[in-house]
Chains A and B, each alone.
Chain A
């Protein structure tokens, strides 16, 4: 096993060993959202013609859970190691900063996909959800989780205390995901909020992901994918710079 695969496997095993907390808990909370919002709003809202609110909601909730878990995976793994100091075992080894980056991002992607797939499979038992294109769905799942995985690395390295990380999660990641159009379509918003929503990268993840199911979206999926790829490249470059220069971790 080479160094990169070892680190990836270790990162996967890390969340899998506490799967109750890292996989089943987010599945449960997402399904609760679905239950409550669909009960409260089913009769009142119709987002796309011919699509009930609950069915509209499912892809949004699935990708929201995937994004939050992808971010949580890399960020919590890194902050736990830097706070406890066991990150030095990785730093003492000949692993390159690129290998470290890819391993953490991939582990985040896998955790996001496992959580998302779990929610999707459970909801299939209760609702009929169309699937227009698996390729689009997968492309957005991959880009979204990879982007959040990379952001999680930045957050995990930057934060020195758990409360700083919690603040990032509660004041940035959570509002941005909630305000990304998971629960509504953007054209239904007042103009100011519409404009602001287009500046939110999470919007493109949700909108594009949803396109894969309904073949309907607020903006073109190509625009969304292009935006996400640009964001991913920018964030990756930033993350790699941090890892390369040893920002905060090789003081």
Chain B
């Protein structure tokens, strides 16, 4: 089957800045995919190249098999993009905005679908309100609605939940999950790693314009993360044998990294040897955030610490 998005050797230079350094990426139809990375890693640049908002310096991108430059009309029909910035046209109402957006795609009678999106995004009360008068959260919903007017099979959301309240965030994800279940491919960027962990099946992590990790969420957490334990000790000193494992010491709690749960035994032995009493012990669940932090702090820390 044709992949939803195919990125081949994409480079982007802004003057001296090499913003994307040879990105290769294939996202299959029906995936729920996250692009992660710190600010300035190149996520938005990559999305803009996929959307045709930015031209790549070299390399090619296809959306549903259509080249985004040579066959831009076909490619753009396949793609709905929710931009990161809260942009809107202050001259028009919500409904006008959506009617114009469908018109740009040559869709004539789109009222029933527009009504449906308005309903799903809880915009019905505001349908005839000027865009200028909407709150930030409402504007965000309109951006999502605009990306969906032409029923694109591939939907890209660039930080859709930045600055959005909990209720809207949940409503938004419910709707996006529903779209994904009905066959839409979803690509998102977010700084909320728990969102990516809960929603996505695969993630790519970008750093300085390169993909440093591309894997399923499950693999990343089980392979890279290792485990952590959190201890409160009496006396409040960590035996010398365990100093190597320490990754945090905060308010009387030591956080130690271990490769496997079986190594807990070694830790306990070392504590007993120095007659240190364990007041509290927590085993922390590994998560995507931990993976992310490790990867962004350099490839050498990908190796799990050993006792």
Contact = CB atoms under 8 A, between A and B. Distances in A.
Interface of A: 1-3, 5-7, 9-10, 13-14, 17-18, 81, 84-86, 88-96, 246, 250-251
Contact of A81 (B73, B79, B89): B89
Given A3-B105, A5-B103, A7-B104, A96 B53 contact: no
Contact of B104 (A3, A17, A84, A250): A3
Interface size class of B (residues with CB under 8 A): 20 to 34
Contacts of B100: 6, 10, 89
B23 interface: no
A90 B53 contact: no
A89 B55 contact: no
Contacts of B104: 3, 6-7, 89-90, 93-95
12 contacts: A2-B106, A5-B103, A6-B100, A84-B87, A84-B90, A85-B87, A91-B53, A92-B51, A92-B52, A92-B76, A94-B105, A246-B55
Contact of A251 (B54, B79, B85): B54
A1 B96 CA distance: 14
Contact of B108 (A1, A86, A90): A1
Which 5 pairs, one residue from A and one from B, show the smallest C-beta to C-beta distance? A6-B103, A93-B104, A85-B87, A94-B73, A94-B76
B151 interface: no
Given A2-B103, A85-B85, 7 more contacts: A3-B106, A9-B103, A84-B88, A84-B90, A85-B83, A85-B87, A86-B89
B120 interface: no
A3 B104 CA distance: 4
Interface in B43-87: 51-55, 72-74, 76-77, 79, 81, 83, 85, 87
B53 to A, nearest CB: 6
Contacts of B91: 13-14, 17-18
